[in-house]
Amino acid sequence: MHLDMDAFFAQIEERENPRFKGKPLVVGADPKEGKGRGVVSTANYEARKYGIRSALPISQAFKLCPEAVFLPPNILFYEKVSERIMGILKKFSPVFEISSLDEAFLDLSFVGSFSKAEDLAKKIKKEIFEKEKLICTIGIGSNKVIAKMATNKAKPDGLLAVSLKETEKFLDPLPIREIPGVGPKTEEKLKALNVETVKDLKDVSKKDLERIFGKNGLGVYEIARGRNDDPVCQREEAKSLSRSFTFEKDTREADIIFSAFEKMTKEIFSEAEKESLPFRTLWVTCRFSGFETKRKETTFPSRVKYFSFFEKESKKILLKLMMENSKPVRMIGIGVKVDRS
């Protein structure tokens, strides 16, 4: 079973402020009357009718629907809601995997049939609604990929169980973009081979799929046939800490760029220290004029202990990114991956 909350951040904001109910609502950067420079985190379904989506520049969202309610994200609050939802879910199966703030998988094999799994899913939806006043969508399938695709198909406030018998009928007509991991570039390559649906995908050889998808080719070959053996397992919390900053104007001024960067490195390092979160991996992103975004990541042989080292290494990466691209900088970001191994 796969569960994903509907328009998660936006739905929480609506719950907290009933006066926003029924209005288009966008959670994300400040739109500043159309001059704002960040992006949309998410939009409720009313706002989506105007074409507003996650990751769209906030200025564009403002153009599409200036009368929408625009709110800044309150991640710490959403995290608390998420923890409570995961707490409810956990009770329904010992085999449980959180895949993001608003998404989780449960292994329900033990219940014995798809219809019993569906009954359980109804109970889960009911309990989440009663306790949190939030709606979600649940997909059930013979493996994680089918379950997730079923969720996407049934959104919002849906429940769709695709039994083993029904899998082929469910998959065949779906556009290839519905397969998790198939983005616009892969879609283009497949369309060049006249592949539009999952059914068409079954005519592509393993060799061609490996050429297009690299080492994931075989996985895609299997998914097109409804097969996937990725287990549901609680991974070590794949926690990361990150910060990003969008400049008022695209800039190459070292002073401006590095003072914003230093502030973020300090915040991340002290948060990691305060919460005793060890890390060895550090990444830096740089978004240039025109939205082109580059990222570099580095993993050190041992845990990062000293701020001076952390600051020096992260600056080195940022400098490298900036030397490889001479355009003005729009946004910078830095993050660390928590690693308890």
Binding site for ligand TTP (CB under 6 A): 4-9, 41-42, 54-55, 101-103, 155-156
CB of 74 to ligand TTP, least distance (A): 12
Catalytic status, residue 16: no
CB of 29 to ligand TTP, least distance (A): 10
42 makes contact, choosing from ligand TTP, Mg ion, none, with CB < 5 to 8 Å by partner type, with ligand TTP
Residue position matching structure tokens 């046939």:
225
- Nearer to Mg ion by Cβ, of 3 and 257: the residue is 3
Q: Between β-strands 40-43 and 240-251, what pairing exists: parallel, antiparallel or unpaired?
A: unpaired
- Nearer to Mg ion by Cβ, of 98 and 282: the residue is 98
CB of 26 to Mg ion, least distance (A): 15
Distance of CA 295 to the CA centre of its chain: 17
Of 13, 97, 103, 118, catalytic: 103
- Nearer to ligand TTP by Cβ, of 82 and 257: the residue is 82
CB of 73 to ligand TTP, least distance (A): 7
Quickly list DSSP for 53-72.
-TTSBHHHHHHH-TTSEEE-
68 makes contact, choosing from ligand TTP, Mg ion, none, with CB < 5 to 8 Å by partner type, with none
**Alpha-carbon distance 42 to 8, whole Å?**
8
Q: Which stretches of 252-328 are assigned E, i.e. beta strand?
A: 279-288, 293-299
Torsion of CA 144, 150, 152, 158, to 10 degrees: -120
Contact 126, 135 (CB under 8 A): no
Task: Tell me how crowded residue 112 is: count the other CB atoms within 10 A of its CB.
Answer: 9
Q: Which residues bind Mg ion (CB under 5 A)?
A: 4-5, 8, 102
- Nearer to ligand TTP by Cβ, of 104 and 224: the residue is 104
156 makes contact, choosing from ligand TTP, Mg ion, none, with CB < 5 to 8 Å by partner type, with ligand TTP
327 makes contact, choosing from Mg ion, ligand TTP, none, with CB < 5 to 8 Å by partner type, with none
CB of 6 to Mg ion, least distance (A): 6
Can you tell me whether residue 291 is helix, strand or coil?
Answer: coil
- Residue type at position 322: M
Q: Between β-strands 293-299 and 279-288, what pairing exists: parallel, antiparallel or unpaired?
A: antiparallel
Which residues form the catalytic set? 103
